[in-house]
Every structure is written in C-alpha cells, then in structure tokens.
Chain A
Amino acid sequence: MESSALQALLSQLRPDPVEAAEAYRRLQLRLNRFFNLTAASDPKQLTDRAIERLAQRVAEAPNTGDPAASGEAEPPVHLTLSDLIFQVAREVLTEDLRHAQPDDQAVRDWFIRTTNARDTNREQRQAMLQSCLSRLSPEGRRLLEKYYAWSSNHKARHHQELAQSLGLSLEALHNRTLHARTRLEACIRRKGGTSRRFRSRRRRA
C-alpha cells in the first residue's frame, strides 16, 4: 500500500494521528470479523485487500469523509467513509465468493468422515491437539479443557458455572477462551503444515 494512500485513509478516519491509529485498528478488526463471518477464504488476506482498496479510493476521492467520525460540519460530496467501507467490503466479498470452491461432494465427505465415530484420523488429531495444548500456558490449557467439558444440553449452565468459579463475567470467559483458542489454532496450523510438508517430502522421496 502506498504511504500517501494510507495517510489519506488515516486522516479520513480521525484528524488526530493517535485517534486515527486506534480507529484504523478497530476498522481492521471489524473487517476481519466481517470476512470471518461471510467469506470463504482467509479473512486476514481479505481484510488487507479491502483496506488497501479503501485507502486507494479515499486517496482518489479526497472529498470523501465521515462527518460523524471526523467531527467536521462540512457534508461529504460523494460517499461517506462508512458507505465506502461497505462498498469495498462487498466488492471484496463478492470476488472471494466467486472464486470460492462450490459446496461439493468432497467437502461433504470430509465432514461426514470427521464427525463419524470411527474417524480413522481422530486419534492422530487428538495427539496433535494434546501436543499443542501442552504448549499453552497452564491457565490457558485448563481453561480450554474446562470450557469444552460440557455434557449435552448443559452448555449454557456449564459456562455460567465455570465463569462463576473463575470470578469472571460470561463475556470475559468467552473472550479468554477465544484468546486461548486462537493460540491453539495457530499451533495446530503450524503442526498441520509441518506434517503435510513431511508427508509430501516422503512421497517425493
């Protein structure tokens, strides 16, 4: 991304540079969650693409602005920043969904296999999961183990009791679990990638 385009976007977000940086971080988070919910590909890549395109558009149309965000009394000429964000996000999403793989039989087979009680790869995944859990902090590991220990139909009560026992609100419990889970997912992705590379190297050999 060109630095002038980025500067243009930041100045449209907030006049004050410190506030603009914070607004940029929050915009990035909202876009990431939007693509996480709606898109098929990697939400981070799509977020980067959307921000780059947004910055270019803002740089090309300097009159675009969000009066509520900037606090300026002057009305926008074409689109508000909010409209522009929506437009760009929809564009990026439409492109992504166009290139996404259709809901094909292979994917359905994958799901049936992985949710089957006789899933042959389950023990292998469990070993990887165990290894990644052991790399987390003891608190993070215990939290994940307790969080996912609900028995059928008692999930809400289980989480309520767990939050109480840890002296947390339910929202705080979910947030902490999500953070621990993000670290776990990163480890599993790394390990999954390593084992795939190892398998392909063995096949080549």
Chain B
Amino acid sequence: MTKHRRSRKRGALRSQLIAYLGETMPEAQRDDFERRLLDDDVFSEEIYQAQQELLEDYADDALSSVHRKQLNSWVFCSSSRRQNVQLTADLLYRGRRAKRIAIWLYAGAFAAIVLLFVGLRLMHPTRYFRKATEAPAEHANLPMPDFAAPPSGAVSFDDPPRIGSSGGPSAIRPMIVRLVSERLHGELQSSSVFTIREDAPVLLQILVSSGSGCAYNVAIHAETAAVPDRHREHVACVTVEGAQFVDVDLPPGTLPPGAYFVRLSGSEGDLAVRFIVHF
C-alpha cells in the first residue's frame, strides 16, 4: 500500500472512530463497527492505534473545538483514558520544557561567546594603541600601560640589541612612555609624571608635529637624577596611522626616578618635552 493510500485509510478510520465515540454514527453502523472490533484482528489493531492518536491529540489540544466537545464525555467517563491523557500531556510538557531549556542554553552560550569576543576586542592592547594614535592630543603625556611590543618599523640605535626585538630580551616587555613634544620657545613649564618598573625596558614614544620622512637628533638630559645625558643621532620618524613619532628604546635602569628633559633637534627646528618618572 502506498504512503498516500495508507494516510487516507488512517484518516477514514479516524473519522469513523470520532463518529462512533461522538455518538453521531447511525445505530446500524455502530453495530457493524463493534462487530468488526470484536471479530477482526486487523481492524481492532488499527482502531486501537487511531484511538491512541486521538488521545494524544486531545492531550495536545490539537483537535478542533467540535471534535473536542464530542470527545469530552468519552475521555471524562473513564479513569484509564483520563490517566492516558494526563500522562501524554505530562510527556509532552516534559519534551517541550527540555527543548525550551536547550534553546535557552544555546542562546546563553551564544550570548556569552559574543560578549567574550566583544570584551576581548575592547580590552586588546592594540585597540588602546590605535585609539591613542587616532587622538594623540587627548592622551598625550598620560602614563600608559605596559604594551607588548613597540610599533613596527622603529629606528635602530647604537644601544645593545633592540628591546623587544628577536635578538634582545624578548621576555621582558618594554613600558611605553608617550610624550608630546612642543616647539622650544624659552623654558617648558609642564611635566608629565610616569610610574615605571625598575626592571623593565622603556620605550619613549615622542609625538612630533613634522611631516613624513623627518629625522631628529635626540638628547635626553637628566635634570635631577645622577645619570649621564644620552644622545641619539639621526633618529628617523616612525609613521603610525598618519602621525609621526620618534621612538627611543632605553634598557632597564637607564631612567632612575627623577625629572628629564628631552630635546629633539631637526631641520624643521627644535622640539622639547619634559617628564618625571618614579618607580
């Protein structure tokens, strides 16, 4: 028997059963129906299946209001049918609740992953760095967190291996001290204060108001600390997102607590910046 014919037969049996149970079937047909139930094994089995499906639909509230009304007294008058309906309703409730919980768990896990992703994006060091370079004036001369590495393309120095480079002590991350230089007209009044670690290398990152391709001679003078001045010749500017920086790597211990004055001498004039460090 094809699937379509089987489905039609099931539909016909179901209609017959509803008519019998709803007492809308003529008396002669009722007798015949009952006789077949008692004589015919196959018919008895088919009607039993149809009865179970009908009870399932009743419990699921999937019957039309007319059919439901017709079947109400049939369901109500037998405790076994009432229990059948109740158990089916409970099994359906259980299944649907499990599905709802699973959906909530999936949704919660998805939301947690999205939040984690967004959080990681917001907290990633490169994001701080990008923000800082986009608006340097706002962040100038503020103590910065110790970043993982200086920007690429930094100049080479005559100091021992470059801090953070593959040949150097790559395990120790340099602390970035970001400064904004000013044109030198008399004495500088303002000084930024930074807290650094004694054992960490320092990357001085000085923003300069010059065009690309600039180069400066850098002189770092300790105003209060007892350390000799440091000089770098022809330090090329580094372009980071359109802004020009002069980077100076300093090994650990080269900036003891105290006030420092940095002078940048280039073809476009002299720039300077003052800062204070402590541990």
Interface residues of A (CB under 8 A from B): 26, 29-31, 33-34, 36-43, 82, 85-86, 89-90, 97, 100-103, 107-108, 110-111, 114-115, 122, 125-126, 129-130, 144-145, 148-153, 155, 171, 174, 178, 181, 184-185, 188-189
- Contact status B80-A36, CB under 8 Å: yes
Given contacts A34-B38, A37-B37, A178-B52, contact A122 B82 (CB under 8 A): no
- Majority SS of interface residues in chain A? helix
Alpha-carbon distance between A148 and B95 when the two chains are bound, in angstroms: 6
Alpha-carbon distance between A142 and B207 when the two chains are bound, in angstroms: 68
Q: List 7 A-B contacts (CB under 8 A).
A: A90-B34, A111-B75, A114-B86, A115-B61, A145-B95, A155-B62, A174-B49
Partner of A107, one of B76, B83, B88, B95: B76
- Contact status A30-B38, CB under 8 Å: yes
- The total of Cβ contacts below 8 Å across the A-B interface reads 116
Given contacts A37-B47, A115-B89, A185-B83, contact A155 B78 (CB under 8 A): no
Alpha-carbon distance between A174 and B88 when the two chains are bound, in angstroms: 14
Alpha-carbon distance between A145 and B97 when the two chains are bound, in angstroms: 12
- Contact status A152-B62, CB under 8 Å: yes
Alpha-carbon distance between A37 and B34 when the two chains are bound, in angstroms: 10
- Which B-chain residue is minimally distant from A39 (CB atoms)? B78
- Contact status A40-B82, CB under 8 Å: no
Interface residues as binary, B65-98 with A (CB distance below 8 Å gives 1, 0 otherwise): 0000000110111111011111111111111101
- Majority SS of interface residues in chain B? helix
List the B side residues contacting A36 at CB < 8 Å.
48, 51, 80
Alpha-carbon distance between A100 and B81 when the two chains are bound, in angstroms: 14
Alpha-carbon distance between A173 and B220 when the two chains are bound, in angstroms: 86
- Which B-chain residue is minimally distant from A66 (CB atoms)? B39
- Contact status B37-A33, CB under 8 Å: yes
A96 to chain B, nearest CB (A): 10
Q: Does B60 contact A (CB under 8 A)?
A: yes
List the A side residues contacting B89 at CB < 8 Å.
114-115
Interface residues of B (CB under 8 A from A): 21, 31, 34-35, 37-39, 41, 44-45, 47-49, 51-52, 56-57, 60-62, 72-73, 75-80, 82-96, 98-99
List the B side residues contacting A38 at CB < 8 Å.
34
- Contact status A126-B62, CB under 8 Å: no
Given contacts A89-B34, A100-B77, A185-B87, contact A82 B95 (CB under 8 A): no
Partner of A34, one of B34, B61, B76, B94: B34
- Which A-chain residue is minimally distant from B51 (CB atoms)? A37
List the B side residues contacting A152 at CB < 8 Å.
60, 62
B80 to chain A, nearest CB (A): 7
New A-B pairs, 15, CB < 8 Å, besides A86-B38, A114-B86, A155-B60? A30-B37, A30-B38, A34-B37, A37-B51, A40-B77, A103-B72, A103-B77, A110-B82, A129-B87, A145-B95, A148-B88, A149-B99, A181-B87, A185-B83, A189-B83
B228 to chain A, nearest CB (A): 80
List the A side residues contacting B35 at CB < 8 Å.
82, 86
Given contacts A33-B47, A103-B73, A185-B83, contact A126 B38 (CB under 8 A): no
List the A side residues contacting B85 at CB < 8 Å.
111
